Amino acid sequence: MSFRPKLQKSSALCRNVGMASFALLCLGGQAAADSSVERGHYLVNLGGCNDCHTPGYFMGKPDMGRFLGGSDVGFFIPGLGSFVGPNLTPDRETGLGDWSRDEIVAALQTGVTPDGRELSPIMPWRAFANLTRQDAYAIADYLRSLPPIRHEVAGPFGPSETPTVPVMKLIEPSK
């Protein structure tokens, strides 16, 4: 009686299990990355980022083909000026394409861009400062996974400048 067929079957099984284990090991990082992107997608939608950063949203017709590509309507804040939600896609010229993952997280949680500018007061970075690091990085991973959209956003405009886009005005109550 020969043990060769059993040995060949056993060897093939070990080889297949080994290859499957290696594939899972290699893909494990990708699965974690995909999971982070999915979590970021969930958080971006939950946070309503679309509201201020997608063209057409404030006019009732969001252009989902340019999702998070930067608004075409601004906010006027008395004493500060008008601010338009910027392009959050990874476009290198008009979006976050030159920002590192860490820079996106820092801006999201501190309200300061990589070049030292403060984000618009309308940006709820103070709320995002309470995100876990994992959730903040998930948002950065998701934003970096989007297709780049070339869209130069107008502004910001100082209080005495005339905006070139429609603006919504925040009006202080009379005292």
Give 138-158 pLDDT, tens digit per residue.
999 999 999 999 999 998 999
Tens-digit pLDDT profile for residues 99-134: 999 999 999 999 999 999 999 988 999 999 999 999
Residue 171 identity: I
Determine the number of helices (DSSP H) and then strands (DSSP E) in the chain: 5, 3
pTM of the model: 0.77
For residue 55, pLDDT over 50 is answered with yes
Q: Compute CA distances 82 → 32, 51, 67, 140, whole Å.
A: 40, 16, 22, 26
**What amino acid is encoded at 6 in this protein?**
K
Question: What does pLDDT average to over the chain?
Answer: 85
The answer to whether the beta carbons of residues 96 and 143 sit under 8 Å apart is yes
The three-point CA angle 92-122-83 to 5° equals: 55
What pLDDT is stored for residue 175 in this prediction?
76
Structure tokens at 15: 């080889």
